Chain A
Amino acid sequence: MRFYEYEAKTLLRRYEVPLASFRVASTPEEAAATAGELGGTVVLKSQVLSGGRMKAGGVKFASSPQEARQAAAEILRLPISGQVPRSVLIEPKAPVAKEYYAGVIYNTLAKRPAIIFSDMGGIDIEEVAEQHPEHLTQATFSSLRPVSDYKMKEVVASLGITGNELTALTPILSRLARAFLAHGLTLAEINPLARLENGSFVCLDCHVDMDEDARDRQGALLQELGIGREETRQARPPTPFEIRGAQIDAQDTRGVAGRIVEFDGDLGLIIGAGGGSLTLFDAVRKYGGRAANYCEIGGNPSVSKACELTKLILSKPGVDKIAVMMNVVSNTRVDIVARGVIKGVVESGYDPAEKIAIFRIPGSWEGEGFKILRKYGVEYYDRSVSMDEAARRAVAKMQTV
């Protein structure tokens, strides 16, 4: 769940990350008044949940209230990546001497949070990693113990930074890491983190993403920021297909069968289990498959839930077949999923043997599940066929259609 820049900055202010005195305006008149109060040259930034604002014309400078009014009017009517700006953030233009980057992510391989730091800020960190890896450093840290300033100091110092800069940068990284841990964030990024001409540091732009599953625990913060439960905060508004998927998941508390994302391919996916959805989705793409959707199933969804999800996917124009693939399941029953999927296919008016490209769910009650699949002539596999191979076979079947 993504935060607007002004919300991210409000959060970082709580952690005493140095920021310019920013304000938010919803109209050109408010922007003009704010620019007058701040004085001097100001920067106006479009508040959209998307990157690339500078290139799209969503960031402008103004040296007077009149210029600020004009700039805000232009920004407010400029959609970026299909999103209409919510407001304009205004802050004094900073006299920047040098730009840095600081970010915290969760390193899923190390299973620990990781701090990333670079002395080349203001550009995409991926570009720095690719073209100037010697300007980037990172280290993982404990999510259980308090964040250590010493650890952050080591990270900054590893790029040869010493003296006052090292002393000033260290607590900024520590505070960013504390905010990351305290609020269930999946990304906390300051880019650029600027050293000003007077030697002080300030966060010029930041990006914060919160884990969807942290929403309930972070109710107080979200309320303070004015983020309602109804706000999905996805990069684009949900499609009717995705809304229906969420309804199917919500109307029955048994298991998960939803979290649908719509794509424009021809292979419908019913995938899940312990990270299986991402692995299988990637594998389908690797073999040249065109997914019609992403979804997650697990936690033993009911027959009716699996059935409704199947019907939804099959109702999507352009879907030729569905692939039902999961990691080895223990708390989801193979036979229950098999019943749901087959019922969904039959109720949609199709033959399961034709419509189901592959069924690969090994695990709990698989013997019973395989009996059902055999009866309906569905091609199925047990755990002796890997998820990767199952995805390859599903894609190959699409190519012979």
Chain B
Amino acid sequence: MAMFIRVEVDPQVAGQADLVKKLVEVCPVDIFATGQDGALAIVEQNLDECTLCDLCIQACPPGTVKVVKLYE
């Protein structure tokens, strides 16, 4: 269970193959993965490793990916 970070992805992005591929590629700590159905999957056990690099936010249309710090 993640204690420090939550990642919110707009369902439209989560279902778009090219954006899913981008997210999986850019995240340095493997928080994103491709699910069995090709949709985006969040790897819960890696969430707290988030480096706050914002690469996922930059990879998708503005406002569609949010990285929430649970300690703020």
Contact = CB atoms under 8 A, between A and B. Distances in A.
Contact of B49 (A304, A368, A371, A375): A304
Contacts of B72: 371
Nearest to A302: B49
Contacts of B4: 303, 339, 343, 372
Nearest to B45: A304
A179 interface: no
A303 B49 contact: yes
B3 A346 contact: yes
Interface in A307-335: 333, 335
A342 B69 CA distance: 15
Nearest to B49: A303
Interface residues of A, number: 14
A339 B48 contact: yes
Nearest to A372: B71
DSSP majority for the B interface? Answer: loop
B3 A339 contact: yes
Contacts of B48: 303-304, 339, 343
Contacts of B71: 371-372, 375
Chain B interface category by residue count? 10 to 19
Contacts of B49: 302-304, 336
Contacts of B51: 333, 336
B68 interface: no
B5 to A, nearest CB: 9
B27 to A, nearest CB: 14
B52 interface: yes
B4 to A, nearest CB: 5
Interface string A291-311: 000000000001110000000
Nearest to B47: A303
Contacts of B52: 335, 368
A88 B27 CA distance: 58
A243 to B, nearest CB: 24
Nearest to B3: A343
Interface in B34-72: 48-49, 51-52, 69, 71-72
Contacts of A368: 52
Nearest to A371: B71
Interface in B6-20: none
Contacts of A343: 3-4, 48
Interface in A341-357: 342-343, 346
Among the interface residues B29, B48, B71, B72, which one has the most CB atoms of the partner chain A within 10 A? B71
A291 B38 CA distance: 51
A346 B48 CA distance: 14
A372 B52 CA distance: 14
B52 to A, nearest CB: 7
A343 B52 CA distance: 18
Interface of A: 302-304, 333, 335-336, 339, 342-343, 346, 368, 371-372, 375
26 contacts: A302-B29, A302-B49, A303-B4, A303-B48, A303-B49, A304-B48, A304-B49, A333-B51, A335-B52, A336-B49, A336-B51, A339-B3, A339-B4, A339-B48, A342-B3, A343-B3, A343-B4, A343-B48, A346-B3, A368-B52, A371-B69, A371-B71, A371-B72, A372-B4, A372-B71, A375-B71
In order of increasing CB-CB distance, the 7 nearest A-B pairs are A375-B71, A372-B71, A303-B48, A339-B4, A303-B49, A343-B3, A371-B71
Given A335-B52, A342-B3, 15 more contacts: A302-B29, A303-B4, A303-B48, A303-B49, A304-B48, A304-B49, A333-B51, A336-B49, A336-B51, A343-B4, A343-B48, A346-B3, A371-B69, A371-B71, A372-B71
